[in-house]
């Protein structure tokens, strides 16, 4: 990760309600100059509302937002700047291009509104079109463009007046899978090339992990965790984040105590099976006897078709195959363990039959205990 120094967007104690509903609750985040931050979370968790508060399209009840050195909103200080005075570019899900204008005029529009000279308009519009790879199509009408090309026009429009910050609200969700990936990589390349501070909203976790310097995971109007993609994936702070980021199996249990760096846990298997003692890492903040959740990633579980000789730490689960799904380079397999379904990944050459008895093991440092 790049080291970022100067804050560009600072959000403190942001609070926004719609009638009885709290859309964003005590949101705090400092985004550095040139950083790419993604707001990630399920539908309705408050991502768009946060973005719209930064843009000035929603007015929060309380809190403060600064962009650069300027306070753009603070109900307490009676400050509110209109969107057009915030020096922000925006790209939304809908392409928002004007059909009756050429590509060039669509992109130049923002500069014309700002009464830029024609020399500046020509220079900056041409540069923005080059950056998004549309310089050859400058004179084409926007109606004669593909979805991906329209989204590039929207991107060029957002960057043409060289704003301090660019806000993206699910800009890729109207594109098909392949184009989506291509545009995703292009946005990242463009962002690094221009070095513009970016806030990107998505509910697609793989998009967030691939694109971002840092990810802000939200649920029910509240930030759950802020961290770089590796941290969010490997060290989720709670079961919500573990479950939302990537695939994981969650098993409830209790913390018995600690042995060195490991937590000793007893997990409930259900379906009449005796509770199982295991060792895992994590368990931060959990006290002895309190309930904890074991998070197991599919790639961290080893499958055995014969009972393996015992492990010193006892992380051995017995189960039966439910089904397998072919995913190209590997198979995804669901295993019934007690009342749980546990997902694992296996090499494609392994033959598994539904109902077949199997054994699962995992290293203590591959299981993560999470305070529930």
Ligand X SMILES: Nc1ncnc2c1ncn2[C@@H]1O[C@H](COP(=O)(O)OP(=O)(O)OP(=O)(O)O)[C@@H](O)[C@H]1O
User: What does the binding site for Mg ion look like in residue numbers (CB under 5 A)?
Assistant: 48
49: partner contacted, choices ligand X, Mg ion, none (Cβ within 5-8 A by kind): ligand X
Binding part of the chain for ligand X, among 47-55, 80-88, 101-109, 357-365 by CB under 6 A, reads 47-55
324: partner contacted, choices Mg ion, ligand X, none (Cβ within 5-8 A by kind): none
- Of 48 and 224, the one with the shorter C-beta distance to ligand X is 48
Distance of closest approach, residue 372 Cβ to ligand X, in angstroms:
24
Told to check if 149 binds ligand X by CB under 6 A, we report no
- Of 9 and 128, the one with the shorter C-beta distance to ligand X is 9
- Of 23 and 32, the one with the shorter C-beta distance to Mg ion is 23
Rounded to whole angstroms, the Cα distance separating 42 from 38 reads 13
Q: Where are the alpha helices (DSSP H) in 18-146?
A: 47-55, 103-113, 118-131
Binding part of the chain for ligand X, among 28-36, 46-54, 172-180, 339-347 by CB under 6 A, reads 46-54
Q: Among 8, 45, 232, 267, which residue interacts with ligand X (rule: CB under 6 A)?
A: 45
- 3-state secondary structure labels for all residues of 32-56: ECCCEEEEECCCCCCHHHHHHHHHC
Among residues 37, 171, 322, 36, the alpha carbon closest in space to that of 28 is found at 37
Q: Among 8, 9, 11, 23, which residue interacts with ligand X (rule: CB under 6 A)?
A: 23
Give Cα 117 distance to the centre of its chain. Answer: 40
Pairing assessment for the beta strands 21-32 and 7-18 based on DSSP bridges: antiparallel
Q: Among 43, 271, 312, 351, which residue interacts with ligand X (rule: CB under 6 A)?
A: 43
Told to check if 203 binds ligand X by CB under 6 A, we report yes
Distance of closest approach, residue 21 Cβ to ligand X, in angstroms:
6
Distance of closest approach, residue 93 Cβ to Mg ion, in angstroms:
8
Q: Where are the alpha helices (DSSP H) in the chain?
A: 47-55, 103-113, 118-131, 147-159, 177-194, 205-211, 229-234, 239-244
Question: Do 166 and 159 meet the contact criterion of CB atoms below 8 Å apart?
Answer: yes
Rounded to whole angstroms, the Cα distance separating 352 from 103 reads 55
Among residues 277, 271, 245, the alpha carbon closest in space to that of 259 is found at 277
Told to check if 29 binds ligand X by CB under 6 A, we report no
Q: Residues interacting with ligand X, by CB under 6 A?
A: 18, 21, 23, 41, 43-49, 203
């Amino acid at each position: 990760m790049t080291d970022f120094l100067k804050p560009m967007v600072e959000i403190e104690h942001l609070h926004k309600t719609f009638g009885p509903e709290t859309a964003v609750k005590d949101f705090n985040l400092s985004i550095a100059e040139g950083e790419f931050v993604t707001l990630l979370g399920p539908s309705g968790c408050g991502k768009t509302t946060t973005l719209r508060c930064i843009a000035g399209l929603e007015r929060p009840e309380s809190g403060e937002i600064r962009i650069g050195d300027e306070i753009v909103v603070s109900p307490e200080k009676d400050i509110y700047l209109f969107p057009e005075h915030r020096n922000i570019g925006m790209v939304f899900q809908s392409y928002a291009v004007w059909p009756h204008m050429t590509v060039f005029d669509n992109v130049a529009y923002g500069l014309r509104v700002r009464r830029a000279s024609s020399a500046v308009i020509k220079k900056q519009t041409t540069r923005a079109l080059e950056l998004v790879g549309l310089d050859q199509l400058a004179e084409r009408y926007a109606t004669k463009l593909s979805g991906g090309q329209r989204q590039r026009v929207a991107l060029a429009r957002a960057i043409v007046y060289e704003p301090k910050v660019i806000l993206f609200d699910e800009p890729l969700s109207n594109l098909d899978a392949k184009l989506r990936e291509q545009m995703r990589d292009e946005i990242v390349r463009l962002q690094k090339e221009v070095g513009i501070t970016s806030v990107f909203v998505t509910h697609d976790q793989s998009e967030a992990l691939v694109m971002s310097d840092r990810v802000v995971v939200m649920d029910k109007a509240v930030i759950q965790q802020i961290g770089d993609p590796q941290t969010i994936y490997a060290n989720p702070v709670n079961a919500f984040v573990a479950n939302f980021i990537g695939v994981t199996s969650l098993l409830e249990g209790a913390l018995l105590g600690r042995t060195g760096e490991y937590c000793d846990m007893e997990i409930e298997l259900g379906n009449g099976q005796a509770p199982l003692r295991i060792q895992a890492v994590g368990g931060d903040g959990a006290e002895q006897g309190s309930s904890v959740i074991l998070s197991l990633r599919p790639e961290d579980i080893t499958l055995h078709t014969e009972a393996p000789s015992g492990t010193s730490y006892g992380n051995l689960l017995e189960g039966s195959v439910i089904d397998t799904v072919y995913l190209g380079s590997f198979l995804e397999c669901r295993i019934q363990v007690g009342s749980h379904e546990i997902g694992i990944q296996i090499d494609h050459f392994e033959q598994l039959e539904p109902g077949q008895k199997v054994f699962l093991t995992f290293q203590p440092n591959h299981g993560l205990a999470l305070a529930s």
